[in-house]
């Protein structure tokens, strides 16, 4: 799983084997993890992130695309 970006402690990566799903990235920080669809940017699922962190991830994802 190649990490493609690091912003404010968040790691962004993808799995090459995720070809059956729409384009997305995985995001992690400490013991938290989320998956974001890229078109449109939306949280598909999240584990242990708080709402304000998910909003920050969405904002950072939108800036980098």
Cβ proximity of 35 and 43 under 8 Å: yes
Q: What pLDDT is stored for residue 44 in this prediction? A: 97
Q: What pLDDT is stored for residue 42 in this prediction? A: 95
Cβ proximity of 26 and 33 under 8 Å: yes
Segments forming the whole domain that contains residue 10: 3-64
Higher per-residue confidence, 64 vs 36: 36
Q: What pLDDT is stored for residue 53 in this prediction? A: 98
Q: How many domains does the chain have?
A: 1
pLDDT digits 0-9 by tens, 3-57: 999 999 999 999 888 889 999 999 999 999 999 999 999 999 999 999 999 999 9
Q: What pLDDT is stored for residue 2 in this prediction? A: 86
């Amino acid at each position: 799983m190649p990490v493609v970006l690091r912003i404010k402690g968040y790691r962004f990566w993808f799995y090459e084997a995720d070809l059956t799903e729409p384009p997305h990235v995985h995001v992690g920080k400490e013991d938290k993890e989320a998956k974001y669809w890229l078109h449109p940017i939306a949280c598909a699922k999240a584990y242990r992130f708080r709402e304000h962190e998910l909003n920050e991830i969405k904002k950072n994802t939108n800036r980098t695309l």
